Amino acid sequence: MNLIVAVDNNWAIGKNNDLLVRIPDDQKFFRETTIGKVVVMGRKTLESFPGKKPLRDRVNIVLTHDKDYDGKGAIVVNSMEELKEELKKYNSDDIFVIGGQKIYEQMLDMCDIAHVTKIDYEYDADAYFPNLDERDDWKIVADSDEQTYFDVIYHFYMYKKIK
């Protein structure tokens, strides 16, 4: 199972249920990586999308405790157990955990590949991802050249779980 996330220097990922910054080439990378795949997200992340709607051309699975939740086309699951049952239907390589904090925290240990866009800045934030550089079970296996978007500097990294 994969995860995909954009973090800043403090591994911050969001503020006020929104992203910290929008970088077109990172959004393109996200789209190209997840298109045709299965994306797993928390209810708050789904509601951060335009129109609070699922992502096109992907199987969307949303976690919420609300049993009457209208996912607007997303598959709705009400617990981690229910999610695990649902995910048995798909090839693990085709599943991408896409956030937010609560979902990353619960699902990190189920993943073996992490696509991490690291943005060289420290934003004001209220949502975070676990710092993989402080963990000895994850290591960087690929990285990109320096990328820029106006004065924002960032890199694409691939981490793999090694234990």
Ligand X SMILES: NC(=O)c1ccc[n+]([C@@H]2O[C@H](COP(=O)([O-])OP(=O)(O)OC[C@H]3O[C@@H](n4cnc5c(N)ncnc54)[C@H](OP(=O)(O)O)[C@@H]3O)[C@@H](O)[C@H]2O)c1
Tokens of 89: 């239907």
Which range binds ligand X by CB under 6 A, 38-46, 86-94, 134-142, 147-155?
A: 38-46
Q: Between 106 and 161, name the residue whose CB sits nearer to ligand X.
A: 106
Q: Between 49 and 142, name the residue whose CB sits nearer to ligand X.
A: 49
The verdict on 54 binding ligand X (CB under 6 A) reads no
Radius of gyration of the chain, Cα coordinates, nearest whole angstrom: 15
CA 127 – CA 163 distance, rounded (Å): 27
The verdict on 44 binding ligand X (CB under 6 A) reads yes
**Cβ–Cβ < 8 Å for 155, 147:** yes
- For the bound state, the minimum distance from the C-beta of residue 158 to ligand X, rounded and expressed in Å, comes to 15
The verdict on 48 binding ligand X (CB under 6 A) reads yes
Total Cβ atoms within 10 A of residue 116: 21
Torsion of CA 131, 142, 144, 137, to 10 degrees: 0
123-152: which residues touch ligand X (CB under 6 A)? 127
The verdict on 40 binding ligand X (CB under 6 A) reads no
**Cβ–Cβ < 8 Å for 102, 17:** no
63-82: which residues touch ligand X (CB under 6 A)? 63-66, 78-80
Q: Between 51 and 163, name the residue whose CB sits nearer to ligand X.
A: 51
